[in-house]
Amino acid sequence: MKIEQYRDMIYACGRCEFCRGTEFSDRCPQIFTQRWESSTARGRMAIARAILEGKLDYSKDLRERVFGCFLCGRCREECKKAAKIDIVAITKAMRADFVDRGVGAPEEGGKMTSTMAQKGNIFADSTSEHTKWAQGIKFQKGSGTLFFPGCLASHRFKEKTRILVQVLQAAGYKLDFLGDDQRCCGTPMWVTGDVRAAKQWAQDYVKKLKARGVKEIITPCPSCFRAFDEEYPQLLGLKEPPFKVRHSSQVLEEIVAQKRLPLKTSVPKVVTYHDPCEIGRYRGMYDQGRKVLTAIPGVQLKEMSRIREQAFCCGGGGGLKIMYPDYSQQVSEERLRDALQTTASVLATMCPACELNLTHAAYKTDAPLKVADVAEIVAVSAGLADKAILEPDYISDD
């Protein structure tokens, strides 16, 4: 069993309760939505211990306790003050054990992974749909710097993705794009526990990108960023990532620091910033988005009550949007309430999954607030996009 390697950590849990908090709504989105003691990090450590001791086995009844975790990392952050347990790694190992022992992921999770493996994207869209956002944009094949939008940015946010590329190109980055050759980064595979398929996927992708001469990857998606930068080296046993990988927040920070784009137009908006889990807690990248926002003339950054290490998840992590959409929606509406309390008219973030979830929450509750990528606000200030895209009632043609 894959959890064997975490035996010492699993037994280190002292049930201190830091991970779940005393209010069920303040830290862990799993206990917030599912309410069972077994739906907390410490509950999961007790389950893992019982499995190691042969008192419990992986079963369909147990599935929601493990696949109902958003993998947001808030518990891991809290556990740094206690037993320093890597709860996210243990949860992923448990998911892999479910698959290895033939129980499998929840049906929708399994479907997402097989769709992605067969079609190359999680939406089962055609290749032409996959690349539609890039129509009319000139890329430079062989530049060595690959722009990798990922499934969500390609399929659900065509306009936002075009705007980001316009910003990067106007700032002088020479971007290559895979076009019809682009496939999903593979994240759904390890999120749903199919590690064997994930290894093969990573191996094939590295080969393909090396053959194309890719030296660096720039992506707006924190999951794709971590896929190439962390998951591939782990899966393939590499000491270093096979390519230099940067998230768009790092590149936008560079653009601002090096003054590569004149930000002349004032954007007189109160903006709040949501920290995506996979670049925030996972990688400590809390400042990039904020530095860019505060460099834009007119923008007033007003923070939510839960930010940085304590930020509440958007509801989209861990594959929950597909596997347990009701829980996902409840969490995104809770996070939206945090944003509305600031009175900001723009909720900015830098993750297509966060943008999708929070946008759904804003539509459902008719919230007077626009969910935007930081790159869109940069584009408005640089005169590359119309200010209308930041209005709450703006809906793109996507």
Amino acid letter, residue 109: G
Q: Does 348 bind ligand SF4 (CB under 6 A)?
A: no
CB distance 121 to 154 below 8 Å: yes
Rounded Cα distance between 87 and 93, Å, is: 10
Name the token pair of 222. Answer: 């924190």
Please, what is the Cα angle at 227 between 183 and 289, to 5 degrees?
105
Select 9 or 163, whichever has its Cβ closest to ligand SF4: 9
Nearest-approach distance from CB 234 to ligand SF4, in angstroms: 18
Given 10, 41, 62, 385, the residue binding ligand SF4 (CB under 6 A):
41
Select 108 or 254, whichever has its Cβ closest to ligand SF4: 108
Rounded Cα distance between 286 and 264, Å, is: 25
Q: How many amino acids of this chain bind ligand SF4 (CB under 6 A)?
A: 27
- CA 29 and chain centroid, separation: 15
Quick note: the x/- pattern for ligand SF4 over 379-398, rule CB under 6 A, is --------------------
Nearest-approach distance from CB 82 to ligand SF4, in angstroms: 4
Of the candidates 340, 311, 222, 228, which has an alpha carbon nearest to the alpha carbon of residue 28? 311
Q: Does 28 bind ligand SF4 (CB under 6 A)?
A: yes
**DSSP three-state, residue 271:** strand
For ligand SF4, the binding residues in 49-88 under the rule CB under 6 A are 69-75, 78-79, 82-83, 85, 87-88
Of the candidates 395, 355, 26, which has an alpha carbon nearest to the alpha carbon of residue 164? 355
Q: Does 17 bind ligand SF4 (CB under 6 A)?
A: yes
Nearest-approach distance from CB 197 to ligand SF4, in angstroms: 23
Nearest-approach distance from CB 9 to ligand SF4, in angstroms: 9
DSSP secondary structure code for residue 347 in this structure: E
Of the candidates 220, 205, 214, which has an alpha carbon nearest to the alpha carbon of residue 148? 220
Q: Does 19 bind ligand SF4 (CB under 6 A)?
A: yes
Select 20 or 246, whichever has its Cβ closest to ligand SF4: 20
**DSSP three-state, residue 270:** strand
Strand order through the sheet with 145-147:
145-147, 216-219, 244-247
Select 11 or 139, whichever has its Cβ closest to ligand SF4: 11
Select 14 or 383, whichever has its Cβ closest to ligand SF4: 14
Angle separating helix axes 287-294 and 248-257, nearest 10 degrees? 40
**DSSP three-state, residue 373:** strand
Select 75 or 356, whichever has its Cβ closest to ligand SF4: 75
Where does this chain touch ligand SF4 (CB under 6 A) — which range of 13-21, 48-56, 57-65, 177-185?
13-21
Q: Does 16 bind ligand SF4 (CB under 6 A)?
A: yes
Given 4, 5, 7, 14, the residue binding ligand SF4 (CB under 6 A):
14
**DSSP three-state, residue 26:** coil
Q: Does 18 bind ligand SF4 (CB under 6 A)?
A: yes
Nearest-approach distance from CB 156 to ligand SF4, in angstroms: 23
- CA 307 and chain centroid, separation: 16
Select 29 or 149, whichever has its Cβ closest to ligand SF4: 29
Quick note: the x/- pattern for ligand SF4 over 134-153, rule CB under 6 A, is --------------------
Select 75 or 350, whichever has its Cβ closest to ligand SF4: 75
Name the token pair of 280. Answer: 């925030």
Nearest-approach distance from CB 183 to ligand SF4, in angstroms: 27
**DSSP three-state, residue 245:** strand
Q: Does 243 bind ligand SF4 (CB under 6 A)?
A: no
For every residue of 15-34, DSSP letters joined together read ---TTT-SSTTTS-HHHHHH
Per CB under 6 A, residues contacting ligand SF4 are 13-19, 28-30, 41-42, 45, 69-75, 78-79, 82-83, 85, 87-88
